[in-house]
Amino acid sequence: MNPKSHKDFKDGIAQEVGVHQNVVDDFIAFYYSKLRKSLSELTNPKILVDGLGTFTIRKTRLQKEIKRKKSYLGNIVNNTYSGYEKKLIIEDRIEEMESVLNTLEEQEKRKKEFKEKKNAISKKNMGKQKGDL
């Protein structure tokens, strides 16, 4: 099975919608550029892509990347302008990654608390049902 490119579809979509092919091509390019930007900027730990599913950042890979960036940060000579600039860029990136990591940990904590409450309620209900018999 060969994957199909958007170039195969743009003629049919343009005719179906009633616009020029360039408009469809620009729309597709705009959509995927926004998608790539949201994936690379680490604004959210989860991103929903229509028709493809939800993409989630892996916590372990994020932790490894933070560790790698911090290690690299220690090797930069920051007494030059270019070194200092690189240091600032990497520090900003580490900060972004750590904020996403904190968000992931908070979500995991809320999930765990929800499951514990759910299990406690179901055990309580099971105890009532056994007592009724």
CA dihedral 81, 94, 65, 103 (to 10 degrees): -170
What is the per-residue pLDDT for 1?
55
- Of the chain, the percentage scoring pLDDT greater than 70 comes to 91
For 80, the 3-state DSSP assignment is: coil
| Cα gap 79→69, rounded to integer Å | 19
**What are the residue ranges in the chain where pLDDT is below 70?**
1-4, 6-7, 129-133
Backbone angles phi, psi at 47, to 5 degrees: -135, 125
| Cβ atoms < 10 Å from Cβ of 45 | 20
What is the per-residue pLDDT for 92?
92
What is the per-residue pLDDT for 116?
93
User: Do 66 and 95 form a contact (C-beta atoms < 8 A)?
Assistant: no
Tens-place pLDDT, residues 29-63:
898 888 888 877 777 788 888 888 888 888 899 99
Q: Assign residue 56 a region (left: φ > 0; alpha: ψ between -120 and 50; beta: otherwise).
A: beta
| Cα gap 129→133, rounded to integer Å | 7
